[in-house]
Chains A and B, each alone.
Chain A
């Protein structure tokens, strides 16, 4: 079975933050919590590139590896989810995550850390899909309704793609080849040298 993947095509991303508000719209995360963010490098200078980042749903997820309460699970197609009832809000996963994804909503005054919140690939969590309980804890479960993550579906320029990794790759490959035959994705030159095509 193929894996679900996010891909942000940095050549298409214009940092419009549509993915960020689409996520808020679908999941109604509270003020101050952003499951998805757009990061801009070289902001305001030649070479400026933006990329939208959320949980990358790692194959070998460091958050899951370090979790003292073992609250993470991975669906067969690679969506990393967690059970908030088990989460103790320790922040170890935040420490482990290479992308700074886990966030801890304030639940009370004076900044006490709440249970970890992160992107669910719009797949909710361990509750009855579409139930009020699931929505309150994890946000929407669009996957269960046959839809894909709101951020990618609503991306202004179709830079952000989410779905079966093979299909995502097919689109990206097609675009890459039409760009003078050379993928101009961010980091290509760094990884393979500027002269290589």
Chain B
């Protein structure tokens, strides 16, 4: 939903970042306003996942230039946990398995950290179980997964559902979903995208990172951005995704900005 007067939630300006001294992002510009769904598409290695990790504050990535403002605040100055507490959420491409840590406890500790930041009361185990059972329905997840270790032995689809369950509990202001569609069969894709649609509202924004059009059949983006060589080369509406689907990415290499970069 595009509303030109909606408040800006995330403003990325000329962002440069590197990992292990290898520059990956070469000046990304992107603005997310409340109510908007953005899709970032691009080939492997274009910098899409790096962008998501930099925004979430992964310690392996170094910002070498530019700025990111989250509701006017300097996001890059905050620890990853603080970014999450004020409403930034990263859905992982490969959710991490954590043996021995109960999924239910993990979800409760995370939810309470976010609530506390918002000045809300912490939930005890009983109140939290009520909440989590309600949210499970968003992703049609079996409550048995709450009793297991975080993501341990979950199938690809179950891991992604668990990500969306976390999103449902944390009610982020800006959700970045990194290849949430990868590894999903048709049913899981339907459930996961249904969850994302359910959670997207006029007061939050969603950034979808994906390779494929099929996710965008289920979640309609307001903007589609094409990323290559660490920059956003082109921005358009959802029809741009269809164009990519038909033409592939080869044409990207002929773009003047790319020729300039390589």
- Specify whether A and B are partners: no
